[in-house]
Structure formats: C-alpha cells, structure tokens
Amino acid sequence: MSQTITLYVDGACRGNPGLGGWGAYVITEQGEHKLFGGEPETTNNRMELTAAIEGVSFCPPDAHLIIWTDSNYVKQGITEWIHGWKKKNWKDVKNPDLWQKLDAVCAGRNIEWNWIKGHAGHAGNEMADELANIGADQTALQKKTVQATALQDIKKPEEDWLLDDPFGFDMAEVTEEDNIDLEQPEEVEMIIVEEEVIEVEAAEPESKQPVNNIHPQIVVTEAKLQLQGPRQLILDTETTGFYFQDGDRIIEVGAIEMINRKLTGSSIHIYINPQKPVGDSENIHGISDNFLKDKPLYAEIADTLFDYLKGAEIIAHNATFDMNFLDMEFRRAGLPALSEVCEVTDTLALAKSKHPGQKNSLDALVRRYEIPARDRTFHGALLDAEILSDVYLAMTGGQVSFDIDALSQSENSQNTTNKTRIQIDLPVIYPSEEELNTHETWVKEFEKKHGEPCLFAK
C-alpha cells in the first residue's frame, strides 16, 4: 500500500527580482526531511515553483502527496490555468520552463494541492518559509565566497622589491624633486596635470572621487536658471516590459528639473544595458538590443542617478509603474528605494480626477490641452518628460482671480450655468448581452495571462 506524504513548499526573494531561496518541508511516515536551495538572481514566483518541483521530485512516484503552498499562483496554475497554457502552446506564459518541469514531475502522480495563508502561524508553512530563507542565505554566502576567491586570484600579492633591494636603490639619496613631492603637493599636481593627465587622474585622492565618478554615458545638463524653491523632476522611464516582478528592467531614464513652475534647463538622461533582450517592447520605444549592448549597467549609474533624484518631488504619468521599477533597480544596487526619499505626484491620477470617464493617456492630454505637437513615432524617456512638463503645467495652471469681488456679472452667470448643467440627470445605458460576454471573456484571459484576477474581478 502506498504511503501518504505531506509537503509544505515556499519561496522567498529579496528584491523580486533579486537573491532568492526555496524550501520544501516533507513529512513522511518514517520522519521529516528539510530541503532548501536558492539562486543569486531570480523572482519570488520562480522560487515558489522551484520549491514545488524539488519537493515533488524528492517523493516516491507511487506516494499520495498532500501539498500545501501559500502561493495561489502555484496552486491555481498547476490545477487550472495550465490546461489553457498547453492549448496555446505556452504563448505569453511567464516562467514556462518551470511550469513545464512541474507538469512533468507531477505527471502520473496522486497529488492533492491545497492553499494555506502565509505567515499565519501554521507550523508547516513557517518551516517551509524558514527553509526558503536558509536557502537564500546559503546562496548569498556562496556568492560572496566565489567573488572573494575570484578577487584573490585577480589580485595575487606581488613581491615587495623594497624588501629585496640588492642594488641599494632604497638607500638612494632623496633629490630636490622628491622634496617637492613631499612638501609642495599642490605645485606638483599642476605640473602633472599639464604633462601627464592620466597619471594625475589615477592618483586623485579619495575625497575627489565623486567629481570623476560620473559615467561618460550619463548626460547631465546644468541648470541655466538659478532658482530657489522646492525641486520638481518630471520623469519618465522606458523598460523591457511591463512586469518588474518577472525580471523586466529599465533601459532608459530621463528627467528634467522644474522650480517654481519654471524649467531650469537642468536634466539627466541615461541609456542602460538591461542584460536581457528588450523583446517586443522595441516596437514601443524603438531601442534595440544592439544599441544597448555597450551602455552601462544600472549598478554603474545608480549612485549618480540617485543623487540627482533624491529629495525632489517626482512627477510622472502612471507614476506607480515608474516608481516600482526605480525602487527595484535601486534596491538591487544596494541603495534605498527612491519612493522612500522622494515625494511622488502621479499625473495620470490627477488627470482622471479632472477628466473622469475620458481618455487620459499622455497623447490624449496633449490633444486636450493643445500642447505643441512633437514627433512621437517612438516613446523616449526625455522626450516624454518634456511633453509631460507641458501637460502638467497646463493641467495645474490657468488664470487665478485674486480679487473675488472683481468677477464680472457674466462670469458669475457662467458659473451658475455650469452648476445647473452638472445637475442634469444622465441616462443609464446598460451593457448588452454580447458586451457582457465579451467582458467576461476578457476577465478570464487576464487571469490566465497574469496568474491572478484583475482588481475589479476580485
């Protein structure tokens, strides 16, 4: 008679994407087994799937498995959504390699899948979570060991010739030039700057490093207007896709500075190598893999970009999208999340409150506010930031009367008329049966594609 085995599986990720770990707590009739592992660069969903794969693979094929997971993504994916994914040949499915592997290890087995609320004090789930974090810690330690070994191999200690000086060079008489080096460093620096620029830059003291630390491909424009007041930065990003949780990365950042509703002329613009293909997103922004291959990594530009942005009010259209990506990228680089050091204003939310029920894309707002047209065949971060600055000023500007009593009678009449119009009863138009069916189909397709229901279907 086959035995019954209970499994608790869980994944953990620090950064998502970032350092991750997986854990599987296996309880058999003979005892318990604790499995764990990790990856240096992964996502939470991939670790949840890996935990399930490793846990199932560990168990005998004829055992009855009762699996508990706190991931609806795993539970519903393997029991419901996977059938549709197979029919469309895994098109548009995230993590298809792991889903296919999980499907293969589960084939022919007697498995009962269950969902359990995470971090709710259940002993089995807590143990799986602990194992996942052990896996992440172990992976981090292994990564540090490998890096330390590689660094040691690169920087092998060289023999100090001063300890073995058969010719007595270390006893040579100090010359006047040597005395100048010791007593007048500023004059020597001037001479070296004129004659040997490369040597001076290499020998710059640490206190001057930040001046020369700006990557040559970071374009920072100095302000032409010196204004006093809170900084606002109109910002836009371009990315490899829509989902920072599944490994999409930033490929371009553009921001322009505004103080007291005036553009100062200061801006920052950077292209970034995402270390992954841009894919179909090239159709939106026109930035190719070939163009990005020689661009800096985010870690190389993170300090400069963070210093430029921090403390300012960030103004962005659909700011949640940009801030999620920026927070993720800065955390990966070992810096605080940008949202922790900046105030954020979302012009999309502002537009929706001013124009409910209307299209509020950047293009739609450009037409509505009659912003001068620009070529937007492709989206570009700096170009979109410039357009957004015009839209923001138009949306938040307009004439203001400082003398209420000076309002003309015609203006007061117009205000009364407007109020009357707002009070008109609007007809209610109900959707047809065909429209309802189309909506229901869309909701189901969204859930299959993203692994969870959309907000208004929950």
> Is the same domain home to 222 and 112?
no
> Is the same domain home to 390 and 260?
yes
**pLDDT value for 375:** 60
Q: How do 64-69 and 231-239 pair as beta strands?
A: unpaired
Q: Is 70 annotated as contributing to ligand binding?
A: yes
**pLDDT value for 142:** 86
364 domain residue, yes or no: yes
For residue 246, give the nearest of 291, 269, 279 by alpha carbon: 279
> Is the same domain home to 301 and 389?
yes
Q: Is 303 annotated as contributing to ligand binding?
A: no
Confidence tier at 80 by pLDDT (50, 70, 90): very high
Residue 64 designated active-site: no
Residue with tokens 């969903």: 45
> Is the same domain home to 237 and 361?
yes
Q: How far apart are CA 249 and CA 273, in angstroms?
A: 9
446 domain residue, yes or no: no
Contact of 8 with 117, CB cutoff 8 Å: no
Contact of 360 with 348, CB cutoff 8 Å: yes
> Is the same domain home to 104 and 241?
no
* Domain boundary residue, one of 354, 378, 396: 396
416 domain residue, yes or no: no
Tell me the sheet residues that pair with 13: 20
pLDDT of residue 94 exceeding 50: yes
> Is the same domain home to 237 and 386?
yes
> Is the same domain home to 391 and 256?
yes
317 domain residue, yes or no: yes
Q: What is the pLDDT of residues 366-375, one digit of tens each?
A: 999 988 866 6
Q: How far apart are CA 70 and CA 11, in angstroms?
A: 9
> Is the same domain home to 251 and 383?
yes
Domain count, the chain: 2
* Domain boundary residue, one of 369, 396, 423: 396
Q: How far apart are CA 458 and CA 447, in angstroms?
A: 10
**How large is the average pLDDT for residues 36-63?**
93
> Is the same domain home to 248 and 392?
yes
Domain of 358, CATH number, reads: 3.30.420.10
- pTM to 2 decimal places: 0.45
212 domain residue, yes or no: no
> Is the same domain home to 106 and 243?
no
Select which of 33, 122, 355, 379 is catalytic: 379
Two tokens, residue 206: 């640490």
pLDDT of residue 242 exceeding 50: yes
Contact of 8 with 127, CB cutoff 8 Å: yes
**pLDDT value for 371:** 87
**pLDDT value for 324:** 95
pLDDT of residue 269 exceeding 60: yes
12 domain residue, yes or no: yes
Confidence tier at 379 by pLDDT (50, 70, 90): low
94 domain residue, yes or no: yes
Q: What is the pLDDT of residues 125-184, one digit of tens each?
A: 999 999 999 999 999 888 888 777 666 655 555 554 444 444 444 444 444 444 444 444
Look at 65-74, 323-332, 351-360, 397-406 and tell me which has the smallest mean pLDDT: 397-406
Q: Is 129 annotated as contributing to ligand binding?
A: yes
> Is the same domain home to 238 and 348?
yes
> Is the same domain home to 230 and 103?
no
Annotate 390-402 with DSSP letters as a single string: HHHHHHH-----S
182 domain residue, yes or no: no
pLDDT of residue 413 exceeding 70: no
Domain that holds residue 337: 218-396
* Domain boundary residue, one of 142, 159, 192: 142
Q: Is 384 annotated as contributing to ligand binding?
A: no
- For helices 381-396 and 347-354, give the axis angle rounded to 10 degrees: 40
